[in-house]
Chains A and B, each alone.
Chain A
Amino acid sequence: MIIFHLTTYSSDKIFETADSLFQKNEYELAINYYNKILENNLESSEVYYNLGICYFKIKEYRNSKKNFQKSLILNPKIKLSEHWITQINKKINEKNIPQMFYVKWINFIVNMFDTFTWILISFILILCLVITITFKYLFNKKVNTIVITLLLLNLIVFYFTNNKIENNKKIFESQVSLSDIIYQ
């Protein structure tokens, strides 16, 4: 725990130095500093956002887009990231593929909360299920419909959460391919 605090402290310092480097227009150095924070096993949506901005400045749009996406995953409330992603899409001529209405709805629901909130919701629902079942045996009441609806809800939430996690994994684990760099 103490070690964790120490690393956060030093990472804060690193974050500040990266910030000052950015102000001096030394973007590549700033990127190195931000990457150091990530190497320290720490992250935040702001770090990814700033990385995205730095990459945008040195015109590495693919990297920039990836980082903006990561920042959105950690904090879906950063609307600026969305804005930059659309800007980058315009720059690299990547068109937004029009989606079917149900895909849009699903995306809308999925993007309402971040991943951790979704996980929390799914576990709370499991807890609810446990409570209703114990109620049934304690007070001998009929709660079958509630149990079934809770179960269905659980499964739906699980579907969303798992989907989101899989997408996140894809974004976090994929590297910018060589062909993308050449394309830039």
Chain B
Amino acid sequence: MTKYLFIFLIICVNLNAQFNSYSESSSTIFKVINGKKVSITTTEINENGKKSKKCVINNYIDIDCETIDNCIKKNDCNDLIKTLDLEEKKLKNHNIKNKNDSDVFIKLSINKNEIYIGEQISCISEIYIKDGVNINNTNIEPISFEGFWEDEVKIDTKKRNRKIINNKNYTVIKYKHSILTSQKIGNLVIPNSSMKVELIQKGRLLYTDFFGRPQYENILVEETLSTSKKEVKVKKLPDPKPKNFYGTVSEKFSIETEIDRNETKTSEAISLKIKFRGKGNINMLQPFKIDFPDEFEVFDPIITDKTYVGNTSTNGSKVFEYVIIPRQKGQYTIPSISFSYFNPKLEKYIDIENKSIEINVLKGKQYVDTDTTQYSLQKLELIPNSKFNNISFRKKIYKYYSIVFWIFISLVFLTKFIVFILSKRVIDTAKKRKEKSNKIAIKRLKNAQKCIKNNDFDMFFEEIEKSIWGYFADKFNIESSNLSKENIDFYFTKNLINDRLKNQFIVLLQDCEFARYAPKSNHNKKMQEILNQSKEIIIEVESNLKKN
């Protein structure tokens, strides 16, 4: 339907134009002059055959007239600027006059003026905007609350309320909501807070649009809004304070304890939860001392903060979770926890208490000795005496130990040494003779060898005889007076030397004896033979003896 109406209207306008023979064509040029945007609109008008040109300058600040020579004359241009400048000034004045103080304002409101220390107040900052006033940009300066602990409430800035003040409609937007906990006694001041706002105001008429509606220029007017100071009187809590008061100021408060089990074994952990629930400065609550039995090892509590910030105070719960490890078996009670808080409404302290908890500890694992933590709870206690020792005795032992030790060791080795020397001496006569017998025999045989070279016939046989007899005497420890052929027989059989060797031995001795008295003709040959024989015999006897 609207579509058809639109087409109809266009046709009507065209018809009208043909009747009056009026045509208008305009072109707009945007130019930047001296850093400012200027739009020059040239309108050519054809009215009943007459053509005329018209220039409109939308933005008239600091126009260089030479650049728009084509459109308008220089002088005209200058005049135009002057008039437009005047117009501008007028408009500005008009705007300032027109602006109403109560168009836009901000307000900071608190719910209480007189509180106790630790009590909470809510502080709300709101902006009031009159209907029809447009705001472009806001710049909120942060507020510093001195002497207060601030918890901010999450707010939805899109949420708007309506309020009627002095028969005028206002849109109210809450832009800051905080819960303040007082921490100082005295008159506390919440200082001015300010906000910069850019207001959009109607300016000069720019043009009328296609449908004849006027289009105005938007002028941004910056403005600082501020709130007034607020004073809050913070009072001291009344004396005397109860013993179990930990600074909690609340209108409603409760305490709950929860234990995961009542029966456990030694060195097994139990968890004890103490739950504080209520309104007020519960978020400030810190763990306090609880009298656990001495046999319990208690670790620092794990704090879980489940508080949230409500409209006028913080609410919720705070949980202290204690991990307890009993170190000794027995029946124990965790005493009831008494807790006091101040109720600002009733203006008095209120005591609350929970039930005491019974814990039965059975014997569990033994601790490892190296674990020193088990003693951390051990009391400083004396131990009974067992047995006294003599101090001087101990001192003597300390003094003489090393001397006695060295004396003993040296005594042992001295006796060993003496025994060693003595044993050497006893062995010397018989054993040493036996060991040296070979060497002596060989020495003598060497002498005999020399005799062969010198052709000393008598000396040779003497040496051979001596060497063999000497060897025999040394080997079997026989005195020289007992040397005889019967003895050879006896000792050789005793030492299990075979008969052949025994006979050879005896024959050699006989040969030596005969050779002394034999003729000198073939001495040299005989000498060499006997020497070789005696050498062989000694070697064989030696090997025979070793075998046995």
Contacts and interface: CB of A to CB of B under 8 A. Distances in A.
Q: Do A and B come from one complex?
A: yes
Contact of B401 (A80, A86, A165): A165
Interface in B370-392: 372, 375, 378, 380-392
B375 to A, nearest CB: 4
A154 B406 CA distance: 11
Interface residues of A, number: 44
Interface stretch (A98-106, A125-133, A175-183): A125-133
A110 interface: no
Contacts of A79: 369
A161 B398 contact: no
A161 B401 contact: yes
A136 B361 CA distance: 65
Nearest to B402: A162
Contacts of B419: 137
Given A4-B390, A22-B382, A42-B388, 15 more contacts: A12-B388, A37-B388, A41-B391, A44-B388, A44-B389, A46-B384, A50-B382, A53-B380, A53-B382, A83-B372, A83-B375, A86-B372, A123-B405, A129-B412, A162-B401
A79 B371 CA distance: 10
Contacts of B375: 80, 83
Nearest to B394: A43
Interface string A91-134: 00000000000000000000000011001001100100110010
A116 B382 CA distance: 25
Contacts of B380: 53, 56-57
B397 interface: yes
Nearest to B387: A44
A61 interface: no
Instruction: Please list the 6 inter-chain residue pairs (A to B) with the smallest Cβ-Cβ separation, ordered nearest first.
Output: A42-B388, A83-B375, A46-B385, A50-B382, A126-B408, A41-B391
A56 B382 CA distance: 12
A5 to B, nearest CB: 10
Contacts, number: 85
Contacts of B383: 46, 49-50, 80
B439 interface: no
A92 to B, nearest CB: 17
B13 interface: no
B412 A168 contact: no
Which among A46, A56, A115 has the highest number of chain B CB atoms within 10 Å? A46
A83 B380 CA distance: 11
B1 interface: no
23 contacts: A8-B388, A12-B385, A12-B388, A37-B388, A42-B388, A43-B391, A44-B385, A44-B386, A44-B387, A46-B384, A46-B385, A49-B383, A80-B375, A82-B372, A115-B397, A119-B401, A126-B405, A126-B412, A129-B409, A130-B412, A161-B401, A165-B402, A168-B398
Contacts of B372: 82-83, 86
A128 B229 CA distance: 100
Which among B369, B386, B388, B409 has the highest number of chain A CB atoms within 10 Å? B388
Given A79-B369, A80-B378, A46 B397 contact: no
Interface residues of B, number: 30
Which among B384, B385, B416 has the highest number of chain A CB atoms within 10 Å? B385
Interface of B: 369, 372, 375, 378, 380-392, 394, 397-398, 401-402, 405, 408-409, 412, 415-416, 419, 423
Contact of B382 (A19, A38, A161): A19
Nearest to B375: A83
A11 interface: yes
Contacts of A168: 398
Given A41-B391, A46-B384, A126 B402 contact: no
B385 A15 contact: yes
Interface in A32-63: 37-38, 41-47, 49-50, 53, 56-57
A74 B397 CA distance: 13
B334 to A, nearest CB: 26
A74 B382 CA distance: 17
Contact of B386 (A4, A46, A53): A46
A53 B386 CA distance: 17
Interface string A150-184: 00001000100110010011000000000000000
